[in-house]
Structure 1
Amino acid sequence: MIDLDIRPGDALVIVDPQNDFCPGGALAVDGGDEIMAAIGNLAARFPLVVVTQDWHPRGHKSFASNHQGGVAFGTAEMPYGAQVLWPDHCVQGTAGADFHPGLAAALDRADLILRKGTNPAVDSYSAFYENDRSTATGLAGYLRDKKVSRCVFVGLAYDFCVAYSALDAVREGFASVIAKDLTRAIAMPAGDGGGTTVDAAERQFAEAGVAIL
């Protein structure tokens, strides 16, 4: 049981709990399936639940397969900056894009399911913004309309979509908490000599005031 004082104004944001991010999936995160049942239990305690869903068209420019000579987990320069190139994953309408079956309880509680990454030219890690850092998903406005003051993040992956979402929550004026035990990380080399992508994310959390539970 996560030790969290849940109160009115809290929202649980479940990030990308999809088959392709779980063992056996196209972009599997170690242990991604292990957190699903506990996330469902946690969702039952929240006044508002949001679930995000990666939902890429087949020709998405974040896929290594759509770049000549592209290598999965390499990078490519996009108009909005450097972009990690991923294996094809969470393609619209495929089983890999479906939610993990262990999350059924949380889906029953979901107030909003937000699809992201639908623009073939721009990736979208964050639940709040596409990777161009200017195109909003509309989530911030939705949460304000619902009188949300604090977002609690769980899901996949800790050092990418969860991290970007938690940091953007602060940017949008919400208190931001990550329940770390209910996330799993990719933990790639950071590429800046600073350890892994987990290390880089946690440095940003400390600077921004994202709380880690």
Structure 2
Amino acid sequence: MLIPKQRTDALLVIDVQSDFTPGGALAIADGDTIIPLINTLAKKFDHVILTQDWHPAQHISFATTHSNKQPFETIEAPYGPQTLWPEHVLQHTEGAAFHPDLKIPHAELILRKGFRRHIDSYSAFLENDRCTPTGLAGYLRERNLQRLFLCGLAYDFCVCFSAIDGKALGFETIVIEDACRPVNLPGSVDATNAELATASIPRIRSNDLLTR
């Protein structure tokens, strides 16, 4: 399925940071293997936006912030269920930096999220309280960027949340499935596939774009 290019297209590259790749604090299996593909995809887009998780110390999502809690347990935060993670992407650390193999010099915006200590932020559009905006929607509307292709890390969390929120906010969102990798907690990939299908968000392959 060849997808023709449109002037209102943008590529949204989610959290391709060192801590989310092998050797990092919250490593995603094969997270580094998609980077050459993302670099190639980015060359097909005039407009590219990068997101960057940017956590302060004692962030609410860190298991170490909570007494007697372990990574991957769930707590009830003021805004709802919150998965706990190992400490990761701490501000101003090498782990929070973009992976050194990510080469997208024409990226127009770096959007940082998750920098408020008491609210996590999976989505590029809304923090996990589901009402605090990141400002990305306004940026896209002012630039008249209407169709978003999403890739990056992790498929079953930040990519999924971003795609669903983008669609709910009126953008056409499409996930490039082979340019993503999941955390792959029990049932998380199946749940993501079901949520994207319910929201009528297509999952495509990179070849649908690379041959255009």
Relative to the length of structure 2, the TM-score reads: 0.94
Q: Does 1:207 align with 2:204?
A: no
User: Secondary structure, in 3 states, of the residue corresponding to 1:29?
Assistant: coil
Give 1 or 2: higher helix fraction: 1
1:70 CA displacement? 1.1
Distance (Å, rounded) in 1 between the aligned partners of 2:52 and 2:80: 23
Matches within 5 A, 1:94-173: 94-104=93-103, 106=104, 108-173=105-170
User: Which position in structure 1 is the counterpart of 2:26?
Assistant: 27
Distance (Å, rounded) in 2 between the aligned partners of 1:75 and 1:211: 29
User: Secondary structure, in 3 states, of the residue corresponding to 1:198?
Assistant: helix
Distance (Å, rounded) in 2 between the aligned partners of 1:180 and 1:102: 20
Letter in 2 for 1:197: S
1:3 CA displacement? 5.3
Identity %: 49
1:6 CA displacement? 2.4
Distance (Å, rounded) in 2 between the aligned partners of 1:6 and 1:20: 33
1:153 CA displacement? 0.2
User: Which position in structure 1 is the counterpart of 2:11?
Assistant: 12
Q: Deviations over 1:35-85 (max 9, x none)?
A: 111111111111211000000001101000000011100111100001000
Unaligned runs of 5+ in 2: 205-212
User: Which position in structure 2 is the counterpart of 1:87?
Assistant: 86
User: Secondary structure, in 3 states, of the residue corresponding to 1:119?
Assistant: coil
Aligned length: 204
User: Secondary structure, in 3 states, of the residue corresponding to 1:12?
Assistant: strand
Q: Deviations over 1:153-206 (max 9, x none)?
A: 0000000000000001101101110000000001112xxxxxx11111111111
Distance (Å, rounded) in 2 between the aligned partners of 1:26 and 1:6: 37
Distance (Å, rounded) in 2 between the aligned partners of 1:6 and 1:134: 32
Q: Does 1:182 align with 2:173?
A: no
User: Which position in structure 2 is the counterpart of 1:192?
Assistant: none
Q: Deviations over 1:84-138 (max 9, x none)?
A: 000000000000001011112x1x1110000000000000000000000000000
User: Secondary structure, in 3 states, of the residue corresponding to 2:197?
Assistant: helix
Distance (Å, rounded) in 2 between the aligned partners of 1:88 and 1:94: 12
1:4 CA displacement? 3.9
Letter in 2 for 1:38: L
Spell out structure 1 runs of 4+ moving beyond 6 A: none
Distance (Å, rounded) in 2 between the aligned partners of 1:158 and 1:111: 23
Distance (Å, rounded) in 2 between the aligned partners of 1:3 and 1:35: 21
Q: Which has the higher contact order (CA 8 A, sep 6+)?
A: 2
Matches within 5 A, 1:57-76: 57-76=56-75
User: Secondary structure, in 3 states, of the residue corresponding to 1:202?
Assistant: helix
Letter in 1 for 2:38: I
Change (3 A) 1:70 1:139: same
Distance (Å, rounded) in 1 between the aligned partners of 2:102 and 2:192: 26
User: Secondary structure, in 3 states, of the residue corresponding to 1:14?
Assistant: strand
